[in-house]
Structure 1
Amino acid sequence: MGNIKNYLGIAGGCLLALASCAGNKTASRTVSGLDPAAFDTTLNGKKVELITLKNNNGMEVCLTNYGGRVVSLCVPDKEGKPTDVVLGYDNIRQYADTLNSPSDYGSSVGRYANRIKNAQITVGGKVYKLRVNDNENTLHGGGNTGWLHQVYDVQSKTDSSVTFAITAPDGENGFPGTVKATATYLVKNNNTLDITFKATTDKETVINMTNHSYFNLNGDPSKVGTDEVMYINADKFTPSDAKYIPTGEIRDVTGTPMDFRKPHAIQETITDTTFDQIHNATGYDHNWCLNTFKNGKGDDTQVAASLFSPKTGILLEVFTNEPGLQVYTGNFQGTGIPCKHGIKYPKHVSVCFESQKYPDSPTKIVQKTKGWEISNPYLKPGQTYYSHLVYKFSVKK
């Protein structure tokens, strides 16, 4: 989701207290072409590493505990060729350099994904001022001091799963409560990446976690990806103002470029700048109200969204228990920064599917905005936050 440089800011240069990497240590490259030694280091006093998960059907997922990130995700295309379908960097130096290569690529975002208006929340009748990092708002928990730029502990790992853990102190970026959270990534034999987020708190707070992987299924992220075919299982969306803050309205998608109930190529509607929402965002960067969430519960067995590449035959289906899905089409890419394997990503090269509470839910809940009650982000002591996100891959020939 948008405006990466703005929200990360320039203070992140202090993170680059990197110890020397693996020196003469050698390791086999991953299927996606990554060198694990380029991630083997110490950052802010904590060990950082590349973790590789695999199944028996040609799927490989590489992750780093820096930000709990997906670095690469390889699945077979229609010819059986391993294809890396996510964007990112191929070394820890660029991920940690928030001054020169700011990015939320593949991260486990917390403690609050998306934007909070005017960088403040009300919890238990008390107003808390948050870190400002996106215009006058808070985005992704505070940007370069949020969880996406913290080193998670590796709580457990196997050949097919890893659990990252983080403890966020009371007052972190202005948020109340000490929060203990985990992000578990599991690769299944049906070529599914199953992600579970959990959190507890010692003081009432707000929680909204998601994964921020940028998908390009075409096999060539040097080219625009808007020829991919997208489906979103939603009758309504939440319009935003020019600063990406939801207005509070919940609008029907019928007759607008927001209607993806019938799958179509993104390029068919993303160029319609006569529509204010696309004009303001220079593409899609919006929350859809999922039809898979009914009666206060999300059905994570039903497809919430999908993306298909006619070039590779790769189909991605997204499942979640959350009420909303922020879909972002890489509108702030095209910076000219060399990324994974030296490729410079163009604008609109990718699509993010961020399952979550609606953006700015704390404000709207306090204001009792109609229709937003299903997106309650508040977590109290004794409760456990649970969010489920699934990326399932298959091939259509």
Structure 2
Amino acid sequence: GGIITAITVPDRNGHPANVVLGFPTLEGYETDSAHANIYFGALIGRYANRLANGTFPLDGQTIHTTVNNPPNTLHGGLNGFDKKIWHVRQLSGLPHAVGAELTLTSPDGEEGFPGTLHTTVDYILDDSNRLSIRYRANTDRPTVVNLTNHSYFNLAGEGAGSIENHTLQINADSFTPVDYAAIPTGQIASVSNTPLDFRTPHRIGDHLRSNHPQMLIGRGYDHNWIVNGYDGKTQRLAATVTDPVSGRTLSIFTTQPGIQIYTSNSLDGTYAGPSGHAYRQTDAIALETQHYPDSPNHPAFPTTTLRPGEQFDHTTSFQFGVAGTSTTP
């Protein structure tokens, strides 16, 4: 699954801690995660997020994909990229950085998606405490592609409890509201006067228990924000998270049009991490940069269609630091 199992980051006093959730053993990733739709740290494809009713139109045909989150297809189906063995090689010659290249070929028709898809993902860690993920893909037949990483972050440390006291700021004036199946309605809505307004930084927990219909549908935050300034090429600041206790900060920059932010609403104490602590709701925040959910069924959304001769090419950077220091893409 190209899984990120740990990211160790110092706090304001120089004390290191792992800031992502995960399983303590390989067996957890092989068994528990495979059946529970948790996706700790995994690469997600072919299509991140949901496809309504497992269908979408493409060049006059109706494509049917595997329904694994009834009535929808979620994160690529039953056997998505999170469950694949990727080929890995070390990247050499990077200036002030180290990295790994992961490659995967998904055959035509896998999980119902047309076209043989060749995917390359680069993980690069540089001297400025920035972890960059570059996603590239090409196809031999028209298809749809939406790729992301599904790491769960807790800047106080893995197993440290709720992230409700973390401060969050999102560079987004609007979001895509969802129906009761968590599928976008097609509307582009302003965040103004909603619990989804993070244009100025505030506690994640401030409105987490709001009775706003969007919060009740997701049992918390599980929404796609439209990152301001999308042009498909420029990395823009999407969100910044700060833990006031440790001082750790995380700023996310991306070329993608959206960011799905998820407050781990489905964690219910079934699984424990390397710390030995059980994971519960709000114990982490996922920051999934991606195209909008269900885009193939909404022509007004930025397209996720990929054709032969084209290349899907997007980069997301996770910039780590401590409060009081600057962050740059």
TM-score interval (norm. to shorter): over 0.9
The one-letter code matched in structure 2 to 1:139 is L
Residue 111 of structure 2 aligns to a residue in which SS? helix
Matched, 1:393 2:320: yes
Matched, 1:292 2:229: yes
Residue 28 of structure 2 aligns to a residue in which SS? helix
Q: 2:18 aligns with which of 84, 95, 115?
A: 84
> Residues 292 and 136 of structure 1: is their aligned pair in 2 closer, same or farther, counting only changes over 3 Å?
same
Q: Which residue of 2 aligns with 1:163?
A: 101
- Offset from partner CA, 1:41-71 (integer Å, 9 cap, x none): xxxxxxxxxxxxxxxxxxxxxxxxxx01110
The one-letter code matched in structure 2 to 1:394 is G
Alpha-carbon distance in 2 for matches of 1:113, 1:195: 15
Q: Which residue of 1 aligns with 2:173?
A: 235
Cα displacement (A) at 1:336: 2.6
Alpha-carbon distance in 2 for matches of 1:157, 1:325: 28
Alpha-carbon distance in 2 for matches of 1:309, 1:299: 27
Matched, 1:342 2:276: yes
Matched, 1:256 2:183: no
The one-letter code matched in structure 2 to 1:77 is D
Matched, 1:362 2:296: yes
Alpha-carbon distance in 2 for matches of 1:337, 1:176: 35
The 5-angstrom pairing of residues 63-212 of structure 1 reads 67-98=1-32, 103-143=38-78, 145-157=79-91, 160-212=98-150
- Offset from partner CA, 1:56-108 (integer Å, 9 cap, x none): xxxxxxxxxxx011100011101101111100012211101046665301111
Cα displacement (A) at 1:155: 3.5
Give the TM-score of the pair, scaled to structure 1: 0.78
Cα displacement (A) at 1:297: 3.2
Q: Are the equivalent residues in 2 in contact too, given 1:194–1:390 (CA < 8 A)?
A: yes
Q: Which residue of 1 aligns with 2:152?
A: 214
Residue 142 of structure 1 aligns to a residue in which SS? coil
The one-letter code matched in structure 2 to 1:259 is D
Q: Are the equivalent residues in 1 in contact too, given 2:238–2:253 (CA < 8 A)?
A: yes
The 5-angstrom pairing of residues 35-74 of structure 1 reads 67-74=1-8
Alpha-carbon distance in 1 for matches of 2:254, 2:35: 34
Alpha-carbon distance in 2 for matches of 1:91, 1:326: 27
Q: Are the equivalent residues in 1 in contact too, given 2:20–2:157 (CA < 8 A)?
A: no
Matched, 1:311 2:311: no
Cα displacement (A) at 1:156: 3.3
The one-letter code matched in structure 2 to 1:384 is Q
Q: 1:278 aligns with which of 207, 212, 215?
A: 215
Q: Are the equivalent residues in 2 in contact too, given 1:208–1:356 (CA < 8 A)?
A: yes
Alpha-carbon distance in 2 for matches of 1:221, 1:94: 16
Q: Are the equivalent residues in 1 in contact too, given 2:158–2:275 (CA < 8 A)?
A: no
Structure 1 vs Structure 2 CA RMSD: 1.5
Q: Are the equivalent residues in 2 in contact too, given 1:116–1:138 (CA < 8 A)?
A: yes
Cα displacement (A) at 1:298: 4.9
> Residues 220 and 139 of structure 1: is their aligned pair in 2 closer, same or farther, counting only changes over 3 Å?
closer
Range moving further from structure 2, 89-98 or 165-174: 89-98
Identity %: 37
Q: Are the equivalent residues in 1 in contact too, given 2:20–2:158 (CA < 8 A)?
A: no
Cα displacement (A) at 1:147: 0.7
- Offset from partner CA, 1:203-249 (integer Å, 9 cap, x none): 00001100111000012524111110000000000000111101111
* Count of residues in correspondence between the two structures: 319
- Offset from partner CA, 1:279-313 (integer Å, 9 cap, x none): 111100000011131xx43531x321010000100
Greater C-alpha Rg: 1
Q: Are the equivalent residues in 2 in contact too, given 1:222–1:346 (CA < 8 A)?
A: no
Greater RCO (Cα-Cα under 8 Å, separation 6 or more): 2
